[in-house]
Amino acid sequence: MKILMLNYEYPPLGGGAAQAHQHLLKEYARRNDLWVDVLTAAETPQFRMETLTENVRLYRLGLHKKNRHYWRKSEVVEWLFKANQYYKKLLHENSYDLVHAFFAFPSAYPCLKTAGRIPYIVSLRGSDVPGFNVRLKLDYVLLSGLFRRIWKNASAVIANSRGLAELARRFEPSLDYAVIPNGVDTDLFSPPASRTLSGRIKLLTVCRLISRKRIDLQIETLDRLLKNQVDAELNIVGDGNLEAPLRTLAQSLGIADRVHFHGLLDFDQLPAVYRANHLFLMTSQHEGMSNAMLEAMASGLPVITAPCEGVAELIDHNGIVVPQPSPNELAAAIAELLAQPDRYAAMNRAAADKARQFSWAAVADQYVEHYRRIAAEK
């Protein structure tokens, strides 16, 4: 089968969805029944084509990107204009069986005009679902009609968690949403030989430093723990436009020496980082399904989190979900767990066991099943 994939974000651009797409392509590269072309973006103005493997090619449309983590409206328009033109070129030159778009908007927009000629599927990733991103509240209103057209003309609309599918259903209840979760490499991410609650407690978060992640809650939680005589520190891996304000917050609370900003690390550095910490924190307001949480679980880290999409599938006996996230409640949950070493050890084991239920190979198989069904219907 010959598949064309569209994604306006792909590493080094973007966050979790970009990384998920990269992992999926690694699985596709191992198959001899797929040929995959990917139309995506570059953070510099030059166009380039990359051959990832014998059966996977990447077409990067050059953009005038200012920040790899933040999309200005002018950059989205630039991508749409260039992608629409190159999409037509690729369709003319190749006989694809179908198109697979990561993000309904803007990625799937070029598919609308060709829906009668070539089927497409949409992977909902989060920000393309109205209600997910507070910053896009007005955009959701203005683009609601376009979103519905893109979704309704797709041969399949697939969310990466039951929570995200439910959020999509609130916006457009007439569709049948499939769910294919994210995966994790449990060979790469694995627990250390031993992990005990001795010495300073190391709290970890791995994410983009943007408002939706609510890292300020985590810094304030650390402040509460320290005031309650819990010897702890917070390790923050990732970068983003809120790093400076977050540093200022830590300084204003007098805990800057306990909040460590590690910046954006290479992917191969992450396994050691997870293994070196005691607890994983996630306080996102919305999340499709957190890649970082899956990696933390595979590394045997208990998770302290707030309710959001994807949590229901991932957290069972391997973490604590604080119903109403606040620094006091998060600190209380952490202190409660630290006071129960046996429970903590059981959560270590449960986290790794739960992560083994998710694999990128299984994710790839589920997508290929959809490809085959849609191609057969065509």
pLDDT values of the chain reduced to their tens digit, one per residue, 378 residues: 999 999 999 999 988 889 899 999 999 999 999 999 999 999 899 999 999 999 999 999 999 988 877 788 999 999 999 999 999 999 999 999 999 999 999 999 999 999 999 999 999 998 899 988 777 888 888 999 999 999 999 999 999 999 899 999 999 999 999 999 999 999 999 999 889 888 999 999 999 898 889 999 999 999 999 999 999 999 999 998 899 999 999 999 999 999 999 999 998 999 999 999 999 999 988 887 888 999 999 999 999 998 888 788 889 899 999 998 899 999 999 999 999 999 999 999 999 999 999 999 999 999 999 999 999 987
What pLDDT shows up at residue 344? 96
Pairing status of strand 56-62 against strand 98-102: unpaired
Q: CB of 60 within 8 A of CB of 42?
A: yes
Is the overall model pTM greater than 0.85, yes or no? Answer: no
Q: Nearest CA to 262 among 245, 240, 280?
A: 240
Whether omega before 323 lies within 30 degrees of 0, making that bond cis, reads no
* Structural domains for the chain: 2-183+359-377 (3.40.50.2000), 201-355 (3.40.50.2000)
d(CA 287, CA 310): 7
Considering only CA atoms, give the Rg of the chain.
21
| Lookup: tokens for 13 | 């651009």
What pLDDT shows up at residue 238? 92
Question: What does the pLDDT look like over 270-315, one tens digit per residue?
Answer: 999 999 999 999 998 888 788 899 999 999 999 999 888 878 888 9
Contacts 24+ apart (CB under 8 A), 268-274: 270/189, 270/206, 270/237, 270/295, 271/188, 271/189, 271/190, 271/295, 271/299, 273/204, 273/206, 273/235, 273/237, 274/189, 274/204, 274/206, 274/298, 274/299, 274/301
- DSSP string for 115-135: TTTS-EEEEE-STTSTTS-GG
What pLDDT shows up at residue 115? 94
| Lookup: tokens for 11 | 């590493």
What pLDDT shows up at residue 305? 93
What pLDDT shows up at residue 36? 98
| Lookup: tokens for 336 | 């409660």
Whether omega before 12 lies within 30 degrees of 0, making that bond cis, reads yes
d(CA 180, CA 161): 7
What pLDDT shows up at residue 14? 85
